[in-house]
């Protein structure tokens, strides 16, 4: 039996707003940045549902970064969302 994979995100309101609505342009050179998604293994998560069925899954924490190919600089989503325009 193959174990299920679960993912979790911790994004604040500003990060969600930036992710969906802001243009992803480098503040230094103005080039469009590329989104980089990372998944960090957290561990096995176990739980019992309302019907008493036991389940477990491999849990991963997902983080987003943006990379400027011209400047070769990587920014975290948190860093970009906290900047004042």
* Both tokens assigned to 70: 């011209």
The model's pTM: 0.77
Question: Residue 78: which domain range?
Answer: 4-82
CA distance 7 to 57: 10
Q: What is the tens place of the pLDDT at every residue in 10-62? A: 999 999 999 999 999 998 899 999 999 999 999 998 878 788 888 888 999 99
> Is the pLDDT at 85 greater than 60, yes or no?
no
Q: Residue 27 CB: number of other CB atoms within 10 A?
A: 13
Domain count, the chain: 1
> Is the pLDDT at 84 greater than 70, yes or no?
no
pLDDT given at position 14: 92
pLDDT given at position 25: 93
Residues β-bridged to residue 38? 63
């Amino acid at each position: 039996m193959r174990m299920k994979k679960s993912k979790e995100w911790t994004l604040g309101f500003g990060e969600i707003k930036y992710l969906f609505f802001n243009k992803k342009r480098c503040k230094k050179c103005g080039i469009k940045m590329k989104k980089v998604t990372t998944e960090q293994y957290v561990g096995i998560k176990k739980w019992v549902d309302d019907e008493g069925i036991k389940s477990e899954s491999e849990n991963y924490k997902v983080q987003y970064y943006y990379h400027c190919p011209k400047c070769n600089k990587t920014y975290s989503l948190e860093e970009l969302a906290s900047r004042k325009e």
